[in-house]
DNA sequence: GTGGTCTAGACCACA
DNA sequence: GTGGTCTAGACCACA
């Protein structure tokens, strides 16, 4: 893993984790890597992973079972919310990019429609 | 300046430069920073700047005048092409992002339309 | 300050801080002690204070102003919620205590009414 | 066992012992742990246990039988008094807590009545 | 000086 | 081995 230096690592890991969830890396209720495992894999400090898991926990995305590890929530509603969450981010990003180079929202939509991709 | 480490620096500098041009930092025909100046300012190796200027030169965006330095082209047509160039990149990026989390192009367009921003 | 060892220090500090707010130690919008100040005063690690302020921040009770310090929220609604929050805790604690020694809720209420205090 | 450091340990042990009696850990007239046994179990100084047993003895709750150890009293009246004793403590504690955050006794009673627990 | 981030590492309860 | 807590201390941006 490589980290951008324009954003706190723990924030990047939070996003990375959510992305993995969207991509179906873990099933609802699955055990996820332990704090130490993930720290080793990502080559970051365990405390940073703790911070990440704290955030994910407070968002209801994962749950801690003492001495058993962390588990992905089986609350499907919370999991369903992930996609629109990212979508919103991507939309804002796209519109900002386009506005920065001088396009309006309408133009951003039209250029998108005309694209072949 | 901060550089992402997931992409070659010279590519990032090329983009950064084009962005500046779009934002009107230089007028058509203007002198742009020397290789050494830019290297110092961006804290990168002069050779990297040389590579950047080579690319920009080959795209017709800048021109070298022997012993006089580099100048932004005064060919307006080339300058006009910059905006669509970035737009295309942003569009591809947006669609890729949305597809990666499971949205089709149509959904990407519709969600964009519905956004309030 | 002395800390009970049956509860994490940061939780005790969170409660202690809320208590102080209820007692009117800070006015809405007031600057509160910096992370380092509080750490020194309470003789705990600055990181522990960071954790406390993180929690209070996420609850909307305080706000961080970069390079300026933390401030008590001026959102009166949030501040008003503190009293009932503690009241609920005290009620639960009282009922639990009484039940543990064999009294029902009704008895707990009646004994309370009969008390001279 | 964990001891709060805001109160003398021997006082905490006295309370802890009375609590155990209320919970029926010993029957009236039962032999209770020797000074040494209890000191080991609670990981406290035997002298502290001596002090505790002195107090319990002076309150008539336990009785020393020379060379035979200590026994819980079989005086049911004394045992019956334990519950109201704790109840009074809990009531005072509850009222103090509520007063400290600005509620009157009447409010403390009403909030208690309204609680769902 | 202020908050923010991150690392290193210790010790704990629980099983 | 697992999560939870806490300390010590470094370095950063911002002003």
Give the model confidence (pLDDT) of C16-72 as tens digits: 999 999 989 999 999 999 999 999 999 999 999 999 999 999 999 999 998 899 999
| Separation of alpha carbons A51 and A68, rounded Å | 18
Residues with CB under 7 A from strand E: A 8-11, 44-48, 51, 66-67; C 34-37, 47, 50, 53, 64-70
Average pLDDT over residues D37-66: 90
Query: What's the burial of D16, exposed, middle or buried (CB within 10 Å: 0-12/13-18/19+)?
Result: middle
Q: How many CA atoms lie within 13 A of C17 on its CB side?
A: 27
Contact A94 B88 (CB under 8 A): no
Q: pLDDT-derived band of residue A117, with 50, 70 and 90 as boundaries? A: low
Q: Which of C101, C102, C103, C104 to mutate to test the interface with D (most CBs of D within 10 A)?
A: C101
Interatomic distance C48 CA / F1 C1' (Å): 26
Average pLDDT over residues A78-101: 91
Taking one residue from A and the other from B, the number of pairs with CB-CB distance under 8 angstroms is 86
pLDDT at residue C117 tops 80: no
Q: List, for residues B47-88, the tens digit of each pLDDT value.
A: 999 999 999 999 999 999 888 899 999 999 999 888 888 899
Residues B102, B111 contacting (CB under 8 angstroms): no
> Which chain A residues in 19-48 lie under 8 Å from chain B, judged by CB atoms?
19, 22-23
| Separation of alpha carbons A109 and B91, rounded Å | 10
Contact A95 B117 (CB under 8 A): yes
At B71, phi and psi to the nearest 5? -130, 145
Find chains touching chain A: ≥3 CB pairs under 8 Å. B
List all residues 6 or more positions away from A108 whose beta carbon is below 8 Å from its beta carbon. Answer: A94, A95, A98, A99, B112
Q: Which member of B2, B92, B101 has the closest CB to residue A86?
A: B101
Q: Tell me the sheet residues that pair with B37.
A: none
pLDDT at residue A79 tops 90: yes
- pLDDT confidence of residue D6: 63
User: What 8-state DSSP symbol labels residue B33?
Assistant: -
Contact D91 C112 (CB under 8 A): yes
Nearest nucleotide (C1') to alpha carbon of C49: F6
- pLDDT confidence of residue C114: 92
Is A109's Cβ below 8 Å from some Cβ in B?
A: yes
Query: What's the burial of B1, exposed, middle or buried (CB within 10 Å: 0-12/13-18/19+)?
Result: exposed
Q: Model-level pTM?
A: 0.73
pLDDT at residue D1 tops 60: no
Q: For residues B42 and B78, which has the higher predicted lDDT (pLDDT)?
A: B78
For chain D, what's the residue count? 117
| Separation of alpha carbons D82 and C87, rounded Å | 27
User: Which residue of A lies nearest to B97 if distances are taken between CA atoms?
Assistant: A90
User: Which residue of A lies nearest to B112 if distances are taken between CA atoms?
Assistant: A91
Query: Which one, of C68, C39, C40, lies nearest residue C51 by Cα?
Result: C39
Q: Which of C83, C115, C116 to mutate to test the interface with D (most CBs of D within 10 A)?
A: C115
User: Which residue of C lies nearest to D24 if distances are taken between CA atoms?
Assistant: C101
Query: Which one, of B104, B19, B18, lies nearest residue A112 by Cα?
Result: B104
| Separation of alpha carbons D18 and D10, rounded Å | 12
Cα–Cα distances in Å, from A42 out to A14, A26, D68? 12, 17, 65
| Separation of alpha carbons A86 and B97, rounded Å | 9
- Chain D residues in contact with C102 by the CB 8 A cut-off are 22, 83
| Separation of alpha carbons B20 and D101, rounded Å | 59
Interatomic distance A40 CA / F2 C1' (Å): 15
Nearest nucleotide (C1') to alpha carbon of A45: E7
Q: Tell me the sheet residues that pair with B64.
A: B70
- pLDDT confidence of residue D4: 67
At A43, phi and psi to the nearest 5? 55, 45
Residue with tokens 């006015």: C27
- Per-chain mean pLDDT for chain A: 92
| Separation of alpha carbons C26 and C63, rounded Å | 13
Find chains touching chain D: ≥3 CB pairs under 8 Å. C
Nucleotides of E under 7 A from a protein CB: 1-9, 13-15
List all residues 6 or more positions away from D53 whose beta carbon is below 8 Å from its beta carbon. Answer: D35, D62, D64, D70
| Separation of alpha carbons D17 and D39, rounded Å | 13
| Separation of alpha carbons A75 and A63, rounded Å | 11
Is D98's Cβ below 8 Å from some Cβ in C?
A: yes
Contact B91 A112 (CB under 8 A): yes
- pLDDT confidence of residue A51: 95
Interatomic distance C69 CA / F15 C1' (Å): 12
């Amino acid at each position: 893993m490589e980290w951008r230096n324009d954003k706190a690592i723990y924030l990047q890991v939070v996003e990375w984790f959510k992305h993995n969830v969207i991509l179906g890396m873990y099933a609802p209720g699955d055990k996820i890597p332990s704090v130490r495992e993930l720290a080793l894999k990502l080559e970051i400090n365990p405390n940073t992973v703790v911070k990440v898991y704290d955030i994910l926990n407070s968002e209801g995305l994962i749950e801690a079972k003492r001495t058993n590890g962390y588990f992905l929530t089986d609350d499907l509603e919370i999991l369903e919310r992930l996609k629109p969450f990212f979508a919103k981010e991507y939309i804002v990003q796209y519109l900002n990019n386009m506005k920065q180079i001088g396009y309006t929202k309408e133009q951003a939509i039209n250029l998108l429609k005309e694209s072949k991709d």
